[in-house]
Structure 1
Amino acid sequence: MYSGQYPPPPNYVMLQHQYGAPPPPYYAPQPYPQRRSRGNCCIRFICCIYCLLFLLIFFMAASLVLTYTFYKPKIPIYKLEDFSVTNFNMQPDMIINAEFLVTIRAQNPNRKIGFIYGKGSTVIVTFEGSTLCSGNLPAFHQGHENVTMLKIPLAGKATFGPDLNKALRDDNEQGRIPLMVQVNVPVTVVMDAFPMRQFDFHVSCHMTIDSLRPDKKPSILSTTYTFGFGF
């Protein structure tokens, strides 16, 4: 109970008409909007790149499968049909003059694919890694399911060392001469009538013949082929 000289103050009551408006309601602070981190944007960008790469690889694989199914490509078949010696002379000063005539059978088994054999080809005959003679393939177009016989004259002048010269003489006397015929030729694949990309085709024929004498037709005792290509 209030005691003193003065009476107690009256209870305070705020009336609406005192200030003309009620007091403002309680204001709750709003949270700040969260910013997107740069990490999420980078992850989304990387995911899009991977999706595009996946679609690109998928369409490329599908086109290759369709092309293979439609064209059914087959590798050309090459065979050394004949080997003739037109001149072979081993001089006392280790110089060898050689002239050969090589016949190569080129077969294209494809029904819808042709080949263009371009210029700049080489045909080399070697003995123990040393060149005896060389020549070139003619430039020509081979059509579908075609067989072409190529007669290639080769000529060369080589100088062998005493050991290699003796090895060649001994093999010639024994009737077993190992030679290698190497063919490098630029080839363009033609699908229907549309030339595609050119690549270099390599054929190596390891063969053994019984003679290098010009007055005797040599017999091919054995042949082994290896193939390769590059861009």
Structure 2
Amino acid sequence: MADRVYPAAKPNTNGTAGAGANNGAFPATKAQLYGATRPAYRPQPHHRRRHGRSCCCSCCLWLTLLLILLIFIVAIVGAVFYVLYRPHRPSFSVTSLKLSYLNVTSSSMLNSKFDLSITAVNPNKKLVFIYNPITISILTNDIDIGDGTVPSFVHGKKNTTLLKAAITSSGGALDSASVSTLKTDMKSKNGLPLKIKLDTKVKAKMGGFKTPNIGIRVSCDGITATLPTGKTAATASTAGAKCKVDVRVKIWKWTF
């Protein structure tokens, strides 16, 4: 009996076995091709930012060095100035203070009159002081009870000058707390504790050179006054008066 020959079976393209075997032969998608050819991201250094930072650091360094140099020069100039001129502050003292009248009206208006004499001393041998007009205030317990002025003047070397001023307050209104405090002090047997303030600006002259105006305040404490009896002015006690001179520097809106 002759054997039968069967034709070879065609590959099953729709079967699961054929699909699993040929998965690796599928062509790559566009996304896979793009990802495979896309270069890796590498951030580039910001040369401009580094250059800007280096310039800023250089400017800060030079400014710091310049500031140190200026401070050094000022220190040298100050040392030379001190050695050559030996500067000292002027001194002030209350020579006399007389109270002609002091009263508070029923409408809380203050009226007062003082006659003040102050001695100013320039102890320097090579410095001349040039004073602007001086404003003077007399206070008791921080209550302003009189104001006046002294004209500008030139204070020569090793010179003593007597300054005189009429200090008055006419018609100045006081608040109720100030009126109460002032009336209590006026009745006290110990008298009124007074404080004198002088404010001005002064230049120092050395040969042909003048400094800029420098603000000064003179504060004098330890003064006591009693109310006058009749028309005779009362002389205040100034034996314990002490005056202090402070330099006042103004920076923009603040005064130190």
- TM-score where L is the length of structure 2: 0.65
Change (3 A) 1:147 1:54: same
Deviation at 1:141, TM superposition (A): 0.5
**Kept after mapping to 2: 8 A contact 1:212/1:218:** no
**Kept after mapping to 2: 8 A contact 1:172/1:210:** no
Q: Quick one: which of 214, 220, 223 aligns to 1:208?
A: 223
| Aligned positions of 1:161-176 closer than 5 A | 161-173=175-187, 174-176=189-191
Question: Matches of 1:166 and 1:80 in 2, distance apart?
Answer: 28
Q: Which residue of 1 aligns with 2:10?
A: none
AA matched with 1:134: D
Deviation at 1:97, TM superposition (A): 1.0
**Kept after mapping to 2: 8 A contact 1:88/1:97:** yes
Q: Quick one: which of 107, 111, 123 aligns to 1:109?
A: 123
Name the stretch that deviates more: 190-199 or 140-149: 190-199
AA matched with 1:159: A
Q: Quick one: which of 151, 163, 167 aligns to 2:164?
A: 151
Deviation at 1:191, TM superposition (A): 1.5
Q: Which residue of 2 aligns with 1:230?
A: 249
Higher helix share: 2
Change (3 A) 1:186 1:48: closer
Superimposed CA distance per residue, residues 128-147 of structure 1 (whole angstroms, 9 cap, x where no aligned partner) = 22221111111110111110
Superimposed CA distance per residue, residues 83-128 of structure 1 (whole angstroms, 9 cap, x where no aligned partner) = 0112323333332210101111110001111111113x31111222
Superimposed CA distance per residue, residues 22-65 of structure 1 (whole angstroms, 9 cap, x where no aligned partner) = xxxxxxxxxxxxxxx969x8577766655544443322221111
Q: Which residue of 1 aligns with 2:107?
A: 93
Q: Which residue of 1 aligns with 2:141?
A: 128
Q: Which residue of 2 aligns with 1:74?
A: 88
Question: Matches of 1:75 and 1:197 in 2, distance apart?
Answer: 16
**Kept after mapping to 2: 8 A contact 1:115/1:142:** yes
Q: Quick one: which of 187, 191, 200 aligns to 2:206?
A: 191
Root-mean-square deviation (Å): 2.7
Change (3 A) 1:66 1:97: same
**Kept after mapping to 2: 8 A contact 1:82/1:103:** yes
Q: Which residue of 2 aligns with 1:3?
A: none
Deviation at 1:190, TM superposition (A): 1.1
**Kept after mapping to 1: 8 A contact 2:99/2:225:** no
Q: Which runs of 4+ in 1 moved over 4 A?
A: 41-53
Sequence identity of aligned pairs in percent? 24
Question: Matches of 2:65 and 2:104 in 1, distance apart?
Answer: 68
Gaps of 5+ in 2: 1-49, 251-256
Name the stretch that deviates more: 48-57 or 64-73: 48-57
Question: Matches of 1:222 and 1:172 in 2, distance apart?
Answer: 20
Q: Which residue of 2 aligns with 1:137?
A: 150
Deviation at 1:198, TM superposition (A): 0.4
- TM-score where L is the length of structure 1: 0.72
**Kept after mapping to 1: 8 A contact 2:96/2:236:** no
Q: Which residue of 2 aligns with 1:16?
A: none
Deviation at 1:218, TM superposition (A): 2.7
How many residues were matched structurally?
194
